Chains A and B, each alone.
Chain A
Amino acid sequence: MSQESNGIEVKGLVREFKNGPRAVDGIDLTVEPGEIYGFLGPNGAGKSTTVHMLTTLLPPTAGSAKVAGLDVATEGSKVRKVIGAALQEAALDPHLTAREHMKLQTSLHGLPKEERLKRGDELIERVGLSEAADRRVGGYSGGMKRRLDLALALVHRPRVLFLDEPTTGLDPQSRASLWTEVTRLSAEDGVTVFLTTQYLEEADQLANRVGIIDAGRIAAEGTPAALKSEIGRPSVEVVPRDPANRARSQEILDQFGTAVPAARDALGIRLNEGIDELVGIVRAFDSANIELASLVLNEPTLDDVFLAKTGRHLEGAGEADSAEMPLPDGETVNA
């Protein structure tokens, strides 16, 4: 099958549980082949239920969904052949080693015998578990379990990969390593990735496009940049090292945007065009020989988007919505 059919098409998808509310309430979305689609929402928004329907673990109550061109309701067995999934709870047997898990998973997928060992070892190495491969999984850290779970989802070379909150509870290093692998899968192997998360930073950094779900409905959809630009342009705050340069600094900044309230000792503007102007600002201060104690870029966050669309903040927002970029002499840019 061609890569063109590796996408996901969802129309009016509904899942209603007995005596409960609609967990998913008529969502429409399209994920392009090879794209990383971030499905962002708070706990209980309907993210996992959507994933369960798209991975054939749960039949939809209404609507339709096609994964890799196959209908999840009527072609479940075919769908399962072309998808991989690492669900919220890494379902691992604590009594099996990583290598034994690979043996199990490759056999479950019906890989030819001669390929199983090779494929298992290759994936164990790729996720950096070679040294722990013969240890029982019961003794693994959360990060190791997640990496193994991801490797298991890849044994049959899926064309579409579902990751349900893959980094929840992981330390920053494990999270970064998982992000690298997901990006590589999409960029190099052309795997379509459907990733649910409640971390703004994760959706922002990884996803080509983001769908924001709240109370079972899609509240917003688009590229992270487009969603944020709907809300507003980024702002910049600078603090001149010498307070005597404040007036000249303000003049420079005024060329790039309109003044906005800033933190104490800082000068702030809302950029006219956007983040591309940052280079120009740095150059302008350099040409004017004005040293800066700090330069901070404040972008609208996806939390701002969520707030604008739903009237509420996303749970956990703020813990991952800001990353610091070091400047050469110890200053920082918050992006």
Chain B
Amino acid sequence: MSSAARRAYFSSAWAVAWRYLHNLYTKPAVFVPGLIFPLFFLAAFAGGLSSVSDVPGFDYYDFTAFQFCFVLIQASALAGVFVGFSIAGDFEQGMGRRMMLATSNRSAIVLGYALGAALRLIVVWVIITGVSLLAGMTVRGSGLDIAGMYMLGLLANVAALFFSAGIALRFRSLQAGPLMQMPVFIILFLAPVYVPQELLTGWIEPVAKVNPVTALLDGARSLLAGEPTGLLLAYGVAFSLIAVMAVWAMRGLRKAEVAG
């Protein structure tokens, strides 16, 4: 890619991201649900279920911190899912077509949404982290550990975004919303949400064991506790999910192109 083509590519991606963020700013109804869900879960789990930490074998240092990691991954993934809603809405409204016509290299559109989602995520992180700290969460990890934890959140965000973008580009309708949201919700809640994996029993235990979100959660929790373990698996799973979902999203883009 020549330097002029590269400049045009990133200019297109930034334009898509700018509009996405502009819409969040002008339409709070689009932004708020992605924030309310994690905050609700944080209040419900860290507050209402705090005595779960008294269960024998629950050896994490702080129940609020334990729940914060779930909420962080959940908020990051949902922020990605809601981008899919925006993509579907744009195709319904005709803006998708405008972008397809105006961008020379159309992968810049997906990159633009990803950039917008990442910037949106920073705001979400600031709010849920602030609320968790106010709720008494203690942080044991170093600056590098915490950066690593947020990086896992970002990777979860990108994977969920590519997943929902793939659906949105295939259906190009907001009616596909449940198809974007439900699988992510289900996979999140089939991970060790309330207690460590070792305390899970019954059918959920083997499911959680193979659930990729478990690796992300365990990695994030270990980083917040300042005792990093299983990071190779966590990052490996995250990057693998992104690779698979990127292919899914790009094939969705091709399908949208073919459908016109």
User: What is the interface of chain A, defined by CB distance below 8 A to chain B?
Assistant: 49, 52, 55-59, 77-78, 80-81, 85, 87, 89-93, 95-96, 100, 103-105, 107-111, 152
- Nearest Cβ in chain A — how far from B15, in angstroms? 3
Q: Say yes or no for B251: interface residue by CB 8 A criterion.
A: no
Binds A, one of B19-27, B63-71, B150-158, B241-249: B19-27
Per-residue contact bits, chain B 217-260, to A (CB 8 Å; 1 contact, 0 not): 00000000000000000000000000000000000000001111
Contacts of B14 in A (CB 8 A): 107
**Contact: A93 with B260, CB < 8 Å?**
no
Given contacts A56-B101, A107-B18, A109-B12, 18 further A-B pairs with CB under 8 A are: A57-B100, A77-B106, A87-B97, A89-B94, A91-B95, A91-B97, A95-B23, A103-B15, A105-B15, A105-B98, A107-B11, A107-B12, A107-B14, A108-B11, A108-B103, A110-B7, A110-B8, A110-B11
Q: How far is the CA of A58 from the CA of B95 in the complex (A)?
A: 16
Q: Judge whether B260 and A80 touch: CB under 8 Å.
A: no
> Contacts A59-B257, A91-B93; is A108 near B99 (CB within 8 Å)?
yes
Pairs across A and B, CB under 8 Å, 5 listed: A77-B104, A91-B95, A108-B103, A111-B11, A152-B98
Q: Are B95 and A107 in contact (CB under 8 A)?
A: no
Q: Which of B27, B93, B97, B104 contacts A81 (CB 8 A)?
A: B104
A166–chain B nearest beta-carbon distance, Å: 15
Q: Does B134 contact A (CB under 8 A)?
A: no
Q: Is the beta-carbon distance between B103 and A59 smaller than 8 angstroms? A: no
Task: Say whether B9 faces chain A, with CB atoms less than 8 Å apart.
Answer: yes
| Contact of B101 with A104 in the complex, beta carbons under 8 Å | no
Residue pair A57, B260 in contact (C-beta under 8 Å):
yes
Closest 6 CB pairs of A and B: A110-B8, A91-B94, A58-B260, A107-B15, A108-B102, A110-B11
- B175 at the A interface (CB under 8 A): no
Q: Which residues of the other chain, B, contact A100 by a CB distance below 8 angstroms?
A: 22
Q: Categorize the interface residue count of chain B.
A: 20 to 34
Task: Please tell me which one of the listed residues B22, B23, B102 contacts residue A80 in the complex, with CB atoms under 8 A apart.
Answer: B102
B105: interface (CB < 8 Å): yes
Contact of B15 among A77, A93, A95, A108 (CB under 8 A): A108
A105 in contact with B27 (CB, 8 Å): no
For A49, A77, A111, the residue with the greatest tally of chain B CB atoms inside 10 Å of its CB is A77
If A91-B95, A95-B26 touch, does A57 touch B101 (CB 8 Å cutoff)? yes
Cα(A227)–Cα(B258), bound, Å? 36
Interface residues in B31-83 by Cβ distance below 8 A to A read none
Question: In the complex, how many angstroms separate the beta carbon of A44 from the nearest chain B beta carbon?
Answer: 16
Please name all residues of chain B whose beta carbon is closer than 8 Å to the beta carbon of A49 when the two chains form the complex: 260
Chain B, residues 89-123, CB within 8 Å of chain A (1/0): the string is 00001110111111111100000000000000000
Q: How many A-B residue pairs have CB under 8 A?
A: 80
CB of A110 within 8 A of CB of B260, answer no
Assess whether A96 is in contact with B104, with CB atoms less than 8 Å apart: no
| Residues of chain A contacted by B104 (CB below 8 angstroms) | 77-78, 80-81, 110
Q: How far, in whole Å, are A80 and B257 apart by their CA atoms in the complex?
A: 13
Contact A93 B95 (CB under 8 A): yes
Q: A104-B19, A107-B15 are in contact. Are A57 and B97 (CB under 8 A)?
A: yes
Which of the residues A55, A56, A93 comes within 8 Å of B93, measured between beta carbons?
A93
Q: Which residue of A lies closest to B19 (CB)?
A: A104
What residues on A are CB-neighbors of B98 within 8 Å? 91, 105, 108, 152
CB distance from A8 to the nearest CB of B (A): 16
Shortest Cβ distance from residue A156 to the other chain B in the assembled complex, whole angstroms: 8
- Chain B residues closer than 8 Å to A152, beta-carbon distance: 98
Give A186 to B103 CA distance when docked, in angstroms: 24
Bound form: Cα–Cα A110–B14 in Å = 10
Q: Which chain B residues border A58 with CB–CB below 8 Å? A: 258-260
Assess whether B101 is in contact with A85, with CB atoms less than 8 Å apart.
Answer: yes
Please give, as numbers and ranges, the residues of chain B lying within 8 Å of A55 by CB-CB distance. 101
Of all chain A residues, which has the CB nearest B6? Answer: A110
Q: How far is B18's CA from A103's CA once the two chains are assembled, in angstroms?
A: 10
Instruction: List A contacts of B16 (CB < 8 A).
Output: 108
* A108: chain B residues within 8 A (beta carbon): 11-12, 15-16, 98-99, 102-103
Q: Give Cα distance in the complex from A95 to B29, angstroms.
A: 13
Structural contact, B102 and A105, CB atoms closer than 8 A: yes
Residues of A within 8 A of B7 (CB): 110
B99: chain A residues within 8 A (beta carbon): 108
Contact of A110 with B95 at beta-carbon distance under 8 Å, contacts A77-B104, A80-B101, A95-B23 already known = no
**From residue 123 to 144 of chain B, which have CB atoms closer than 8 A to chain A?**
none
Contact A95 B27 (CB under 8 A): yes
Q: How far is the CA of A105 from the CA of B16 in the complex (A)?
A: 10
Chain A residue at minimal CB-CB distance from B98: A91
Q: Chain B residues with Cβ under 8 A from A91's Cβ?
A: 93-95, 97-98
Cα of A157 to Cα of B50 in the assembled complex, Å: 63
Across-interface contacts of B260 in A (CB, < 8 A) = 49, 52, 57-58
**A96 and B97 contacting across the interface, CB-CB below 8 Å:** no
Residues of chain A lying within 8 A (CB to CB) of residue B18: 103-104, 107
Residues of B within 8 A of A95 (CB): 22-23, 26-27
* Residues in chain A near residue B4, CB distance under 8 A: 110
Query: A85-B101, A108-B103 in contact; A96/B19 too (CB < 8 A)?
Result: yes
